[in-house]
Amino acid sequence: MQKEKDNIDQLRKRLHDCEDYILRIAKPFEGYWDKATEEVIDDHLRARQSMLNEMFAKHATDAEVRRFEVVNELLLALTKQLNERHFMLQYQMSTILTLKGEPFVLETTLVYSHNDDNPQLFEMEEDAFYGSRWNEMLWVIGKNSRLDDIC
């Protein structure tokens, strides 16, 4: 039992150090970083994700599992809505552009937009266990142009 607690404490410390580093390099640029900086941030976000996953696997409560289910259901609904709108717009555009003989490609993206003034994070008692700065990290993730590779 003590060994597991020590392991969690080590993970929490590594997580804190990783987030410190991410914020130290991301904040001065206010989310507009060059490609090299973005790659460093990406690498550290992936490391952070791995640490959180490991902690979650060892500690997840029923409430946390339910929160993930709710968030996943919401993301699924938003993705379905995005796809429906994409196909509707693609159909409308293809009808117009096919008559003109013009080819086209339509891309759609579901983007997370962090509201700095009123962050919408489902806060729970268990959040303190992880020691993460959730809202600050959501800001970094929301500013990242390669969001789909990290989440």
pLDDT given for residue 13 in this prediction? 93
Q: Give the pLDDT mean for 122-132.
A: 77
Confidence of residue 81 (pLDDT cuts 50, 70, 90): very high
Confidence of residue 16 (pLDDT cuts 50, 70, 90): very high
Hey, how many other C-beta atoms are within 10 angstroms of the C-beta on 31? Answer: 13
> What confidence tens digit (pLDDT) does each residue in 90-110 have?
888 877 776 677 777 788 877
pTM score, two decimals? 0.69
Q: Give the pLDDT mean for 23-30.
A: 82
3-state secondary structure of 112: coil
The lowest-confidence range among 31-40, 61-70, 74-83, 141-150 is: 141-150
Query: What residue ranges do the domains of the chain occupy?
Result: 2-150
The lowest-confidence range among 4-8, 102-106, 110-114 is: 110-114
- Find all residues with CB under 8 Å of 1, minimum gap 6, and list them: none
Q: Report long-range pairs for 119-126 (Cβ below 8 Å, ≥24 apart).
A: 122/67, 122/70, 122/71, 124/63, 124/64, 124/67, 125/63, 126/59, 126/61, 126/63, 126/64
User: Does the structure show a pLDDT above 90 at 47?
Assistant: yes
In contact, 128 and 11? CB cutoff 8 Å: no
Confidence of residue 71 (pLDDT cuts 50, 70, 90): confident
